Amino acid sequence: MIEGGESWEADGFSLDTLFKHSVLRPGEETEKREFTDMVKLKKRRNGEPEGKGQGDPFHVWNTMLQFFDHVARLDVRRALLDCWYGPYQWPAYMRHVDHRTLPRFVDQLLAPYEAVQQPSSELKETNWFIASHALTFTDIHQDAGGRQTWIEVLFGEKWWFYFRPNEAGARLRASDPVAFLDQLRLFDKDKTSALGTWFFTILPAGTGMALSSGIKHVVWTPEDSFMAGKHFDLPTFAVMERCLLEEHANGEAVTNAVRHGWFDALLAVGRLVGHPSLSKVITNENLEALGRMLQDPARYSPEDDKPGMEAELALQLAVEEVTMLEGEKPHAARAHSQARWIAGLLKISPPSNKAEAAKTKARGLPELHDARVRALPLARAAVAAEMARRDKGTKRAKRGAGAGSIEKGR
């Protein structure tokens, strides 16, 4: 936690403040945005009847004008969680972190020579803004995709509760992430204490905090609040792997969002692991985790209903096509991918009529499929070469140590 940052307290909790700090442009206050509805979320968490619309998601579509009109109504408590804040930049005291992020390595080592294709969601998830009414909260979650998080409270106050598992909790989390999350969500002190300890910190306006990947947390907002932040990747692939395995098992139940661009980010950086500037910051443990994720990405694909099933199928197709291209049937690889894609889509979303079926059958291969097929062999080969180089260096060092011992004995 770092104090002395930017504060908007003098500007007030208003639309004018958002215009002043370029969160919104004039005219955007009337656009519909997705808000989390605390009344619906509370009822769902408590197992209470939701009344009309029961079973609907706990989100509503409002404008920012409506959001500020509701500030004084305690029966309407909402939070805007999905707002891209492009102009937001690192505070001066955190800018050194940017040079250690994976996108920075890609920009420096690969992007100048080759266009790097990434899903548009990767950009939108980098800089974000949150506006919350007082008395709003989140469920227990971890930030999606194994990313690190930087947050900065700009107005109001946030209470951050985070869970630190003990040895028993770490074992359960690794062996059965579904059971681990279910235990935490009981909010039973005795059962939770058996798995670890909850801690909390209060963040007033002008306070920032860095949160490592995979930390389970809950956020309580006692006052109307504005907050900005960033998600970013560091070369901590072992932690990222653990997070993605949990998200594969739990789906959106364990995250506040879904990150579908994680594999494309790994493809970009995987090709560069042998470069000295990147190699020196990747430990053997993290290199091995990166190699596993490149070999079988579908094992890590976040499960979030039909979109997640499509994303997992898309990763399977890329791996299968690469295998066929490197094997005995390269000529049949593309036809195989197209047939598998259409068959998978028809299974995931069975059409209700001939028109829907025809529309599905006309769909082309997934976005970035060709880019993945080109990049995957290169990334795998680079990781394998770096592993071999390190293994050779370790053996050489051991031989040198052994020779030194013999010489000393003489």
Per-domain residue ranges for the chain?
15-258, 284-409
pLDDT band at residue 407 using 50, 70 and 90 as cut-offs? low
Mean pLDDT of the 37-66 span: 74
Reply yes or no on whether the pLDDT at 125 is more than 90. no
Strand 78-84 with 225-232, pairing: unpaired
pLDDT band at residue 406 using 50, 70 and 90 as cut-offs? low
Predicted confidence at residue 134, as pLDDT, reads 96
> Given the structure tokens 């985070």, which residue do they identify?
162
Q: Which fold has domain 15-258?
A: Jelly Rolls (2.60.120)
pLDDT band at residue 51 using 50, 70 and 90 as cut-offs? low
pLDDT band at residue 408 using 50, 70 and 90 as cut-offs? low
Predicted confidence at residue 225, as pLDDT, reads 98
Burial 246-278 (b: 16+ CB within 10 A, else e): bbbbbbbbbbbbbbbbbbbbbbbbbbbbeeeeb
Mean pLDDT of the 189-207 span: 94
Q: What is the tens place of the pLDDT at every residue in 8-40?
A: 999 999 999 999 999 999 999 999 999 999 888
When comparing pLDDT for 270 and 115, which is higher?
Answer: 270
pLDDT band at residue 139 using 50, 70 and 90 as cut-offs? confident
pTM: predicted TM-score of the whole model, two decimal places:
0.86
The DSSP call for residue 307 is H
pLDDT band at residue 54 using 50, 70 and 90 as cut-offs? very low
Mean pLDDT of the 318-338 span: 91
